[in-house]
């Protein structure tokens, strides 16, 4: 199985690796996993007072496609509103990275992580 240049680039030079303060009320954390291949993805977003994502960080343990999917979405999330972020679909991630069919679950994981991080942030606002 050959990875696309974008997957290789995001795997070898991942963007936005790290963590944000999970206790911060402006930070939402999504932790998701795919037992099928052992991937675990932690995605965090920092949302400003206008409801715009101003930062995103990830830590992913898994295959190159999972790491690339995480790295890509952190780039996509910055500057988006929560509703815009919620609208990101795994098919867009898979298409951008040209993921092979056996790695589509990695893009699903990234979409799930976005939704989980947004939900965590919204729960903190209540």
Q: How far apart are CA 8 and CA 64, in angstroms?
A: 7
SS3 21: coil
Q: Which member of 8, 20, 31, 37 is catalytic?
A: 37
Structure tokens at 58: 């990830």
* 63 is annotated as an active-site residue: no
Longest distance between any two alpha carbons in the chain, whole Å: 46
Q: Looking at the chain, how many residues does it have? A: 126
106 is catalytic: yes
- Among 32, 67, 106, 118, the one annotated catalytic: 106
Q: Say how far apart CA 112 and CA 32 lie, in whole Å.
A: 7
Burial class (CB in 10 A: 0-12, 13-18, 19+), 59: middle
Residues annotated as part of the active site: 37, 106
């Amino acid at each position: 199985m050959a990875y696309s240049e974008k997957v290789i680039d995001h795997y070898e030079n991942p963007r936005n690796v790290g963590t944000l303060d999970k206790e911060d009320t402006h930070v939402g954390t999504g932790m998701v996993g795919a037992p099928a291949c052992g991937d675990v993805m932690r995605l965090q977003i920092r949302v400003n007072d206008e409801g715009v994502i101003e930062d995103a960080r990830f830590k992913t343990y898994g295959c190159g496609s999972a790491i690339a999917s995480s790295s890509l979405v952190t780039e996509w999330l910055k500057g988006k509103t929560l509703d815009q972020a919620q609208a990101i679909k795994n098919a867009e991630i898979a298409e951008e990275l040209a993921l092979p069919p056996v790695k589509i679950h990695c893009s699903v994981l990234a979409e799930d992580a976005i939704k989980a991080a947004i939900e965590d942030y919204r729960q903190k606002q209540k």
